[in-house]
Amino acid sequence: MKHLLSIDDLGRDGIEEMLSLAENFVEVTRRDIPKVPALRGKTVVSLFYEDSTRTRLSFETAAKRLSADTMSFTVASSSVKKGESLRDTVQTIEAMGVDAMVVRHSSAGAPHRVASWTDASVVNAGDGRHEHPTQALLDLLTLRTHRGPALDGLHVGIVGDVRHSRVAHSDVKAFHALGADITLVGPPTLMPESLEGWPARVVYDLDDVIGNLDVVYLLRIQLERQSEALFPSLREYTARYALTAARAKRLRPDALVMAPGPINRGVEIAAEVADGPASVITEQVANGVAVRMAVLWSLLGSGGSIV
């Protein structure tokens, strides 16, 4: 595998192999010195044209724990501000000698374009509304920790702004590949324009399904991707679709609460639910480092030893 641009690049077998590899890296991250020499001599650059906390820091941490050198690019302090194009930026960075580019961009397909301009490996760290494959992998790793490797029949409800969510797109494909049943929940205006090809059913009332879910996966309302009002008010959205403390009481006793982050407490999730016993949101973040170590090692270090 040269690039990871979509969860489709992996398929079921590839996803399972990546998760098994990530489990080895979880063990590495728990060592007193959580570092291995696997990617010594390699250079990984983060090329982020959109804001990020989790993805950016965990990729950089993952690269450092594999002993790779890292470079970090932010639009705000770069020559993009002087009009430099994406292609010229990519070619400039490549000229410095890099082995992998981790790309986040507001335009769907930008990482694919970058891959066509460089000999380096490219990882999609989120492109517009399209995909976020490493988020899907870390979500699956978190589910495996709690439910074992087979997700057959696990009922996952993905709640909220599915229309604008690259996470939902990658998660639906990845959860389905491992056998989960998926229900999308939200107002019609926040569902995809077409559900063709989505292996999921749609429900418009969270209260109709809340008691039947094994996993409630809460999406943030992505106001930055909305050009028009798609629901009357945040208050009404919260009343109908948030995981409030009252709704959380109706969850199955072993149900898990997940979110890709960032979360907006009091909007899609109540603070006490985000911090409550069913929530695995911080575990997801922790697993992001091991998953991204697995991805970088698969792209740059295969054939060598993890140690």
Q: Which residues bind ligand CP (CB under 6 A)?
A: 52-56, 126, 135, 260-262
Residue 37 or 128 with smaller CB distance to ligand CP: 128
DSSP of 21-54: HHHHHHHHHTSSS----TTTT-EEEEEESS--SH
Residue 138 or 210 with smaller CB distance to ligand CP: 138
Beta bridge partners of 265: 269
Decide if 106 contacts 125 (C-beta within 8 A): no
| C-alpha–C-alpha distance, residues 190 and 151, integer Å | 26
Residue 126 or 157 with smaller CB distance to ligand CP: 126
Cis peptide before 262 (omega within 30 of 0): yes
For the CB of residue 1, give the shortest distance to ligand CP in the complex, in Å: 21
Beta bridge partners of 184: 158, 202
Residue 38 or 70 with smaller CB distance to ligand CP: 70
Using alpha carbons, list the distances in angstroms from residue 307 to 25, 139, 217, 264, 286.
Answer: 10, 25, 35, 39, 20
Residue 43 or 55 with smaller CB distance to ligand CP: 55
Contacts for 247 with CB less than 8 Å, ≥ 6 apart:
206, 207, 210
For the CB of residue 52, give the shortest distance to ligand CP in the complex, in Å: 3
For the CB of residue 7, give the shortest distance to ligand CP in the complex, in Å: 14
**Amino acid, res. 73:** F
Residue 60 or 181 with smaller CB distance to ligand CP: 60
Residue 55 or 238 with smaller CB distance to ligand CP: 55
Neighbour-count burial for 233-260, b at 16+ CB within 10 Å, e otherwise:
eeeebbeebbbbeebbeebeeebbbbbb
Residue 52 or 121 with smaller CB distance to ligand CP: 52
Query: How crowded is residue 153: how many other Cβ atoms within 10 Å of its Cβ?
Result: 9
For the CB of residue 180, give the shortest distance to ligand CP in the complex, in Å: 19
| C-alpha–C-alpha distance, residues 269 and 299, integer Å | 36
For the CB of residue 64, give the shortest distance to ligand CP in the complex, in Å: 17
For the CB of residue 189, give the shortest distance to ligand CP in the complex, in Å: 23
